[in-house]
Structure 1
Amino acid sequence: MDKNYSLDLDLINRELSLILEILKTENEDSLLLNRKELFIDIDWGQFLQLAMHHRVYPLIYSKLKKINRDLIPSHVLQILYREYKKNTYKMLLLSSEMEQVSKLFIENQIRLLFLKGPVIAADLFGDISLRTSKDLDILIPISNLERAEELLLNAGYEREEGETVLNIRKWRDHHVSYFHPEKKIQLELHWRLQPFPSKEPRFNELWERKRISMLTSYPVYFLGKSDLFLYLVSHGARHVWLRLRWLVDIDMILRQCIKDEKKCTLMKKHQNHYIVGQALILTSQLLNTPIDKELKKLTIGKRSKKLAQMAIFYINEEFTNSNNRIPTESLDINQTSNIHLINNIKKSIFVNYYFYSLQTSSQNAFFIFRLFYPSSADLKTLILPKPLHFLYFPLRPFLWVWRMTLKR
């Protein structure tokens, strides 16, 4: 990365700064001895809220419990410990379900790769309790999609998505979500790593480079190191790095590869090197991630820098919840509601601009087309009989504005 280039981090608040310092410290004693000022004037309620929002509270707890308790209110540690325990139980439950789903599919001749969840928690952190997972994500060949759904339904899962508009799932979606009402487990069944039209390896290529997890007794397969790295980079970029957890994942992969350079090759064919550059800039400047010389070349492009700064702006807006900073005490209900509506529209416009900047020219043509193509959200906003579904095209802008008003 350019020695003179740095992201604009001035707007990041004290609570977020403390979280970042805790995440990147490798020696808790140095944090205590040299950076005590970080713990002054902290809004601990907001600190907890941010740690939960970014799904990094297990790591935060594992580090804070080792330092001087006088710096941290006791109730903060108690809440972090409670959430840490809850997460550990959930990860154990997901690990058990992961093994059962793997056995179910393999015994029915369906190859599957686990994309996230307990397998990468064990792989990256060596401890499933240090990472959170909302659900299980599995990738299968698209030719097995109908059979896989049948197996999941027979196993007690229920499909979460309802009716779609104009066969949209055939070309727009890349996964289907299921929920097990008894086990309270959500599962996402993927037939692509990323939404169409992004280029990605075929399933057979990913299968050839797969790894086997040591977490379970029955074989559980997951992505090879390079494929996992590129998948997590693309996934995080596509979600505007909404969770710091995703950047921590990238940080852990890069640190492992620095230690074991001979056995670790991260970059194979990748269409959008500037997206990797964005991730490298963010992790190196937010988490002090070491970047080797080969990968540093990807951080010097203007596009990578622009995307990294845009992500910081969005993350900061999420962290600080800009709506809360509006002095609304002197405003009436309608004025306050209008301010929130304007903020929601601005945020939506910014995110769409970010997505447009993130993609190639050919992808942007599809992106613009998709903006005007009806979605399942439109169907939920206004229910029309199937013969009239074509009306969703002219109605889509009005339905979008209506949904923005509902968020006020």
Structure 2
Amino acid sequence: MALTSRSPVLSTEFRLILLLSRLVLDDAQASAAWKLCNEVNDWEAVRHTAMDRFILPVVYRHLRHLEPSSLPAEQLVLIKHQVMALYRHDLNVIANLAEIHEQLLLPLQVPYVTFKGPSLAVCYYDEPAMRFSRDIDILVPRERMAELLARALAAGYTPLVPQDLGNDPVSLAFVARYQKVITLLSPRDIVIEFHSQIDNIGTVYDTRALIARAEPARVGSAEVSVLPTDELFVYICWHHTKHFWSHLHWLVDLDAIQRHPSFDRQKAYACAERHGLTATVEVCVKMAELLGSPEFEPHDNQDERLNALLKFSLEAMQGDVLFEHHLASKKATPDYAFHWQTDRRHRLSWKLLGWLRRFRPSYAEYRVRPLPSGWQWLYCFLRPLLACRRRLINHDAD
């Protein structure tokens, strides 16, 4: 189903937050931001929106430099206290990443790459704690997942998804085989997502190839494996477009990476071409430049692709989770928001493989009827029976 929308209305408060969504302001941006500060009627809304969109530390940094007279002192104090709490959280996440490397991955010699979140903050932000990270994402080969999970559970990590994951070889082998993301909670109370692939059907990214391209980066006392700059830049353009850029710290990420000495635009576009993501990267770069313009207005552009991305992203940036889910239901495929990002071959692949995914068993079904590894192919036939059983149980409960 094609996405259609109208140009969203932007409040003064949101315009200010949008303009502050970058690591550094040039003179023109700083001047425009200072003028917008004097037009703000609701600083409480500025603070809440910046917090909800994971950008409060960056906003606080800019406001301290701008020193707008219209900003009430009590609001600045509230922002400062919230930012200090976020700093403590983000430093905890960064420390946890180093521990995962040293306590889990290194002893097992598991090849991996960590992406987004704390590794991005450490590599591209001058103050890493400024970049809010909800969780830690780590990509590992599927065949090494079970032993990694076993070591993590033995070390005090607790399962979140699936919540009732058992620490036995058959259960761990099952989730490693059939579930592409397993989520644990660390002893530091940080959410850890272990991925065996980072797209839905494996047609966009190859896990082995990504891990093979990993580079070392210093995180605390550890030297963790991260994506090269060009690969990370292309990935975040693709991934955040899937979510319509709903979190504003993603715009800061884009700015921070492009400012970094390791960023090479030609290498980034060459990487995008390898993944078939050239159009996605081109339009994301244009959108970021437009949103950073002091004269930005959400008018239609000649580039219809840019027009579509801008409209839906601006709505998602101001919407809630339910609105984002509404948009997600209208995407071209789960891996692409718009038809112009992909081709007919990928869409046909998704229709076929997406249909086959219906036969993939869930861990909940495994727990109801555990089967040894050699017999788990039977779940393809048991799934309909187990689904009927669940419906009957729910019907009796009603």
Task: Quickly name the TM-score band, shorter chain normalised.
Answer: 0.7 to 0.9
For residues 250-261 of structure 1, the aligned pairs below 5 Å read 250-256=254-260, 261=264
Is the contact between residue 269 and residue 281 of structure 2 (CA under 8 Å) also seen in structure 1? no
Instruction: Tell me whether 240-249 or 40-49 shows the greater mean CA deviation.
Output: 40-49
Q: Would you say 1:390 and 2:384 are equivalent positions?
A: yes
Please name the residue that 2:328 is paired with: 351
Please name the residue that 2:12 is paired with: 14
* Percent pairwise identity: 18
Is the contact between residue 93 and residue 118 of structure 2 (CA under 8 Å) also seen in structure 1? yes
Is the contact between residue 122 and residue 128 of structure 1 (CA under 8 Å) also seen in structure 2? yes
Q: Would you say 1:215 and 2:192 are equivalent positions?
A: no
Q: What is the CA-CA distance between 1:215 and the residue it aligns to?
A: 3.1
For residues 215-364 of structure 1, the aligned pairs below 5 Å read 215-256=219-260, 261=264, 265-268=268-271, 269-288=274-293, 302-303=304-305, 305-318=307-320, 348-356=325-333, 357-358=337-338, 360-364=346-350
In structure 2, the CA distance between the partners of 1:154 and 1:255, relative to structure 1 (3 Å rule), is same
Q: Would you say 1:53 and 2:39 are equivalent positions?
A: no
CA distance in 1, matches of 2:38, 2:53: 19
Please name the residue that 2:394 is paired with: none
CA distance in 2, matches of 1:351, 1:215: 34
CA distance in 2, matches of 1:313, 1:107: 46
CA distance in 1, matches of 2:389, 2:38: 51
How many residues in Structure 1 have an aligned counterpart in Structure 2?
A: 348
Q: Secondary structure at the match of 2:260?
A: helix
In structure 2, the CA distance between the partners of 1:305 and 1:29, relative to structure 1 (3 Å rule), is closer
State which of 187, 190, 201 in structure 1 corresponds to 2:195: 190
Please name the residue that 1:402 is paired with: none
CA distance in 2, matches of 1:23, 1:274: 23
Please name the residue that 1:76 is paired with: 75
AA partner of residue 254 (structure 2): I
For residues 134-213 of structure 1, the aligned pairs below 5 Å read 134-162=134-162, 173-180=179-186, 182-203=187-208, 205-213=209-217
In structure 2, the CA distance between the partners of 1:300 and 1:125, relative to structure 1 (3 Å rule), is farther
CA distance in 2, matches of 1:371, 1:207: 25
Please name the residue that 2:351 is paired with: 365
In structure 2, the CA distance between the partners of 1:394 and 1:50, relative to structure 1 (3 Å rule), is farther
Q: What is the CA-CA distance between 1:76 and the residue it aligns to?
A: 2.0
Is the contact between residue 174 and residue 196 of structure 1 (CA under 8 Å) also seen in structure 2? no
CA distance in 1, matches of 2:236, 2:201: 17
For residues 99-110 of structure 1, the aligned pairs below 5 Å read 99-104=98-103, 105-110=105-110
CA distance in 1, matches of 2:368, 2:233: 44
Please name the residue that 1:111 is paired with: 111
Unaligned runs of 5+ in 1: 1-6, 290-298, 322-343, 397-408
CA distance in 1, matches of 2:8, 2:127: 34
State which of 21, 24, 49 in structure 2 corresponds to 1:23: 21
In structure 2, the CA distance between the partners of 1:362 and 1:281, relative to structure 1 (3 Å rule), is farther
Q: What is the CA-CA distance between 1:107 and the residue it aligns to?
A: 1.9
- TM-score, length basis structure 2: 0.74
Q: Secondary structure at the match of 2:311?
A: helix
Please name the residue that 2:395 is paired with: none
In structure 2, the CA distance between the partners of 1:376 and 1:140, relative to structure 1 (3 Å rule), is closer
Q: What is the CA-CA distance between 1:248 and the residue it aligns to?
A: 1.8
CA distance in 2, matches of 1:315, 1:232: 16
Is the contact between residue 171 and residue 196 of structure 1 (CA under 8 Å) also seen in structure 2? no
AA partner of residue 352 (structure 1): S
AA partner of residue 292 (structure 2): L
Please name the residue that 2:372 is paired with: none
CA distance in 2, matches of 1:41, 1:303: 32
AA partner of residue 390 (structure 1): P
Tell me the alpha carbon deviations over residues 22-43 of structure 1, each in whole angstroms, 9 at most, x when there is no partner. Answer: 2356147963588424432432
Q: Secondary structure at the match of 1:237?
A: helix
Tell me the alpha carbon deviations over residues 235-281 of structure 1, each in whole angstroms, 9 at most, x when there is no partner. Answer: 21222222011122122222336x86489545321123332234223
Tell me the alpha carbon deviations over residues 68-91 of structure 1, each in whole angstroms, 9 at most, x when there is no partner. Answer: 252211222112211221122122
Higher relative contact order, structure no. (Cα contacts within 8 Å, ≥ 6 residues apart): 2
Instruction: Tell me whether 153-162 or 171-180 shows the greater mean CA deviation.
Output: 171-180
